[in-house]
Every structure is written in structure tokens, then in C-alpha cells.
Amino acid sequence: MKHLIIGTAGHVDHGKTALVRAMTGVDTDRLKEEKERGISIELGFTYLNLPGGSRAGIVDVPGHERFIKNMLAGAGGFDLVLLVIAADEGVMPQTREHMDIIELLQVNKGIVVLTKCDLVDAEWLELVREDVDDFLQGTILADAPVVLVSSVTKKGIPQLLELIDRAVEEVPPKVGRGLPRLPVDRVFTITGFGTVVTGTLLSGVIKIGEVVEIQPEGLSARVRTIQIHGEKVETAEAGQRVAVNLAGLEAEQISRGSIVAGSGLIKPAQRLDVRLLLLKNAVKPLKNRARVRFYLGTRETLGRVVLLDRDELEPGSMVYAQVILEDLTVPVKGDRFVIRSYSPVRTIGGGIIIDPAPKRKHKRFRQDVLENLSTKEKGNPPEMVKLYLDTNSNIHLPAPVAEGTGLQEEEVMKAAATLAEEKELRIISGEGKQYLVSTTVYNRWLQDIKTLVTSYHQKFPLRAGYPKEEIRSRKFPQLNAKTFQMMLLEMEKEGALRVLPKVVAVKDFAIGPNQEQRELIRQITQVMADAAFLPPSWTELSNRMGVNETEGEELLQYLLRTGEMVKVAEGLYFQREVLLEAIKKVTAYLNEHGEITVGELRDLLQTSRKYALPLLGYFDQERLTRRVGDKRLPGKTLDNH
């Protein structure tokens, strides 16, 4: 079902709230101060049952200049705007400012309502009609229907309702897919229920029981109940006015401008890439780094506008810019925003968000920066996906690419298939999912890894390869261990690398000593053979050979891996042939005598107790012997022979 949100706009005291009351029977002025002053200060909400059977939500906004920011908090969710102009006054300052906001937010469906027609004569009404027609020329509502009404006599109300009913069919539906996104315009507490937030659901659905995020506060909560127009529902859909009861949060933790969103992808930001229009009626140019008031959704914050190709923006001109905000906001690509001058406060411009999370500050007057922004804004899906992947060096699931480009996931995967055929992108499958990475990024990473690992092989030729986790933490901290392993396996499929359980090697690498190390190994082997059953410690041997600790450890580990040396006990190593000779002698002795002691082994090998004791421990471990008291008897290994 299509859902419609109707919003009012217009100058203070032009009859917006009275018009809503005449259509619905509901007074949206709910604050005592509003009743006393006779004007709307806060947003008002109700619903309208249309003649065709549909139900539309209504947002009644304040018209007073002081409360324009409250008007902006409601206008972002409008599908249809009722531009209200009092027949006894005509077009006034806030009529013009509200019209500017309607254009900047691209609320391109509207009806012009001339109220208080019972207070003027026909001649005056005709003059006002001409004034309104002139005012609307060249605006987004230039062809909008005009209805003459009186909220007192109800004249014109049926015709207005009929026009609204027709508009339901003409207004495009909101995006029902993707993550739910609800900009909060009101927060309050209900006794017995807790915290309630209201807003217009811009996309997705919200269901009772699901966990949602509140950004930019970084909180999470469970949806306890949902109401639409005062009725409890299980699910809210995009385009509906929603009241959501959140469990686990206090009202003070949330404020107007917060976003209730699905878990995971929508992130707060302080830097935005935008296309910015300065209104024709702005009183002066906008200078680079001018401080402005920035309005996005229901949130207001301060920021500075960095003009990327000029030093000042003339009224009526459009430009690419980067906005640096003083506080966090929660943007999505394609969102519309409004800016107002810092002082005096008036609406001066607005535009569209091109990149909600640029990685860095842009250098000004750079053609490549401007071209990239143009592609992000206007490119076809393959161009947009390629640019996103080229400039975001990571391996991505489709969802964040969709979020970053403003495309649907289906569009992203269709574009990815095209790019993969053109060798511009790689699709890597793993854990039942498909990941995307730019070919440019992938090839650069592959070359970086090969260079790093080749250099490592040259420095440490006796090691099996470069430790995987060290490569990841040093070069690819943005990748988690699983994603990094998946990428390495993809590179191994190409034959570029060899991936072992803990290390990475280039394909054609073979472990082996260089010429200098071969000579050292020959000398070490000879010394250990000559020492027989009285071998020096490895530290003593390294010092004798003039080998530093690191190189000595490399040689030792290589000799142990190749079996040239055998570790008998902690710090005690024997040359392989020497150890085999010891085993031969012990075996013969046991065959003849049936048992052996430490002292007998010492005499047999002409060694000392220092070596005899750990040797017997080693023989026990290898099951050549088994200990019984102070003696060793033949072990299972010898028994089998």
C-alpha cells in the first residue's frame, strides 16, 4: 500500500492549523503557549481520511520566522505540500522562505491553498491570485492547482480533499527496501511504556521486537510497540508517520535529529561531499569556509562550506563543495539538505549529498576531485560502483557499496557482473557470500604482498614464509583475518602466492641457505660431529662462529626443520649422525644387558652426567627406553624390533 505524508507550509497566521482542523477535525496546536499566542511553534501531527478510502498523515509546521528550523524538521518527509497563503495578505516573507525550502528539498508535488477567502471581496481575491501566480512562476509549484477555501465556512474543503485524493496515485512510493531509517522529530515519555519517538519512516520497515540503532548517539534499543495514527501495528512501512516505543532507553538519551535505523550500515559523519545551490535571492555571495547552519532530516548543526573550485559562490550558482560539520549528523547518499546563514539567520541554499562519508578532505581546485564527484552524482551504476571500489580500498559486501553509491543491492550486483566481465572488478566468493574488490586495488595489493614477501625471503631464506598476521596488521588493518585469508586464497588460485597455515610465500620460493649460510652450516656440522657426545651449547657455538643471536636462531631452526640437528632437551642439541650413533650403542647395550643406568650410559658414550641424563629422558620420550626406578629397560620401540 502507498502511504502519503502531507505537510503544510506558509507564513505565520495564514491559517495552516485552522485548515488542518477544517479537514480533519483535529487541532494540531498542542502546546499551551501555542494556544495563548495563536500560532504554531512546534510541529503538529494528525491524519486525514480521504474520500477514496486512503489515509494520509499530516504534518503541520510553524510559519513564524523564529521557528523555521522546526518547519525544516518536518518538511524532509513530505510527499505533498499544501502551500498556504492567506487571501487577505498574499505572499509574505515566510511564504517565500518556505517556498525556497520546498524547492531545496525537492518536494515537487503540491497544492496552493488560498485561505481566509471569506474575509475578502472578489476584486481583492483576483489581485491576490495574480500575485500568487507571479510568485510561483519558475518554481517547482508553478503548475500546481490553486484552491480557494475558508476554514470557517468550509468552502473549498471538499475540492481540496478531492485534489489530495488524486495526488495519492501520482506521488511515487517511498523506498520500502533496505534499512529502516526514521529521523526523529519528537521524543517523549509515556507512563508505563517509557520512551517514544515519532517521525516519518523514509525507507525500509520497522517491526516489533527487532533491535534498532539510534545514531549519532551510537545506542541500541528494542522496538517494544509501534503506533500509526494512534493505532497499534506489528510493522511500519516506508512513507508512514510512526510512533515507536523503544525499550531500554531514557528520553534524555535521544533528541530531535537522531535517527532510528536498522543495525549495521548507517554511520554518523562530520564531513560530507555535496552539490550546493546558493539561492538567487541570497543577499550576498557565499565565501569559501563560510560558517552556516546545516539542516539534514530533522537535525540542525553548524558547519563550514569548503568551495572546491572557487573562492566565493554567487547567488543562483551551483557548485561541488565539502561541508565540515561541528557535530555529527547521519547522512545517506541522495539526501537533500538546507543551509541557512549563521547571522542573521535566513535560508540561503541547499542541495544534495553526493558522498556521505568521504575518506579525506579534498584539495581545492583539483580537476580529478571534481570529476570524481561528478561520477558519484551522475554516473551510471557500473561507473559509480567502480569509483566507490577504487576509492575505498577494501573488500566489500554488496550492502555497504549500495549504501555508499545510493544504489540498490540488486543494481550493485548487476553492475559488478558487468565490471567483472570487463576485468575492472573481482568477485570473491567465501562463506556463502560474494565480496567485491576493485581490480586496481586487488592488483596493487597483490604486488605489495609479492614485493614484501620476496624481500622477506631474501632476508630470511631459511624461513618458510612471511607470517600472515604480520602482513595483515602491517599492510591491511582494514581487513579482518577471515577476509584477508579469503583474499590470499584467491591470489593463490592465480598461482601468484603459496599460502601455508601461518605464513605466505611466493610461488617459486624454496627454503634453503645462501652461500654464506651453507658454509656456516658445514662448519657447525663438523664441530658438532667432532664434539660427538659432548656438544657445545648453541649459544657457545654461535659465538664461536661469529654469528649474532638472530642469525643463529635462523640457522638453528633450519637445521631442526631439515633434521640435521635434533633437540634432545631445552638448550641441548645433537648432530643427527651423532644421535643415531648413540641410539645404536644404547640398543646394543640393552639387547645384551637388558637394562641401563645413567652412569652406565655415561661410560658407554664417554660423556658426562650433564649429557647422559637428558639423553635418557629423550630416549624415554621416543619410547626407546622406559624408566623403572633408577634404571631404563627396553621401551616399546625396541620391543617391536
Strand extents, DSSP E, 387-462:
425-430, 433-438
Evaluate whether 244 touches 196 at the Cβ level (below 8 Å): yes
Span between the terminal Cα atoms of the chain, in Å:
85
Give the distance from CA 167 to its chain's centroid: 36
Between helix 68-75 and helix 93-104 the angle, nearest 10°, is 30
pLDDT of residue 115: 95
On the question of a cis peptide bond just before residue 344, with omega within 30 degrees of 0, the verdict is yes
Q: Which residue has the cell 567465501?
A: 430
Fold of 181-261: Elongation Factor Tu (Ef-tu); domain 3 (2.40.30)
Neighbours of 85 (CB within 10 A): 27
- The set of cell numbers assigned to 251 is 528520553
Neighbours of 491 (CB within 10 A): 19
Spatial neighbors of 639 by CB under 8 A, at least 6 apart, are: none
Residues of each domain in the chain carrying CATH 3.40.50.300: 4-170
Pairing of strands 433-438, 466-467: unpaired
Fold of 379-511: Arc Repressor Mutant, subunit A (1.10.10)
pLDDT of residue 34: 37
Evaluate whether 353 touches 337 at the Cβ level (below 8 Å): yes
- The set of cell numbers assigned to 458 is 631474501
Q: Rounded to an integer, what distance in angstroms lies between the CA atom of residue 312 and that of residue 278? A: 11
Residues in the chain with pLDDT values less than 70: 1-2, 27-43, 62-76, 173-178, 265, 637-641
Which residues on adjacent β-strands are paired with residue 113?
A: 84, 147
Q: Rounded to an integer, what distance in angstroms lies between the CA atom of residue 97 and that of residue 281? A: 10
CA R_g for the chain = 39
pLDDT of residue 62: 65
Q: Rounded to an integer, what distance in angstroms lies between the CA atom of residue 29 and that of residue 11? A: 16
pLDDT of residue 56: 84
Q: Rounded to an integer, what distance in angstroms lies between the CA atom of residue 501 and that of residue 601? A: 41
pLDDT tens digits along 238-288: 888 899 999 989 989 999 889 999 877 688 999 999 999 999 999 999 999
Residues of each domain in the chain carrying CATH 1.10.10.10: 379-511, 520-640
Q: What is the CATH number of domain 269-369?
A: 2.40.30.10
Spatial neighbors of 182 by CB under 8 A, at least 6 apart, are: 197, 199, 200, 201, 202, 206, 242, 244, 259, 260, 261
Q: Rounded to an integer, what distance in angstroms lies between the CA atom of residue 548 and that of residue 630? A: 40
- The set of cell numbers assigned to 70 is 522546526
Residues of each domain in the chain carrying CATH 2.40.30.10: 181-261, 269-369
Model pTM score: 0.69
Q: Rounded to an integer, what distance in angstroms lies between the CA atom of residue 435 and that of residue 399? A: 10
- The set of cell numbers assigned to 308 is 572546491
Q: What is the CATH number of domain 520-640?
A: 1.10.10.10
Q: Which architecture, in CATH terms, is 4-170?
A: 3-Layer(aba) Sandwich (3.40)
Main-chain dihedrals φ then ψ at residue 553, nearest 5 degrees: -65, -40
Q: Rounded to an integer, what distance in angstroms lies between the CA atom of residue 275 and that of residue 598? A: 87
Evaluate whether 34 touches 66 at the Cβ level (below 8 Å): no
Please enumerate, as own/partner, the contacts of 439-448 that have beta carbons within 8 Å and a separation of 24 or more.
440/390, 441/389, 441/390, 441/393, 441/394, 442/487, 445/475, 445/476, 445/487, 446/491, 446/496, 448/475
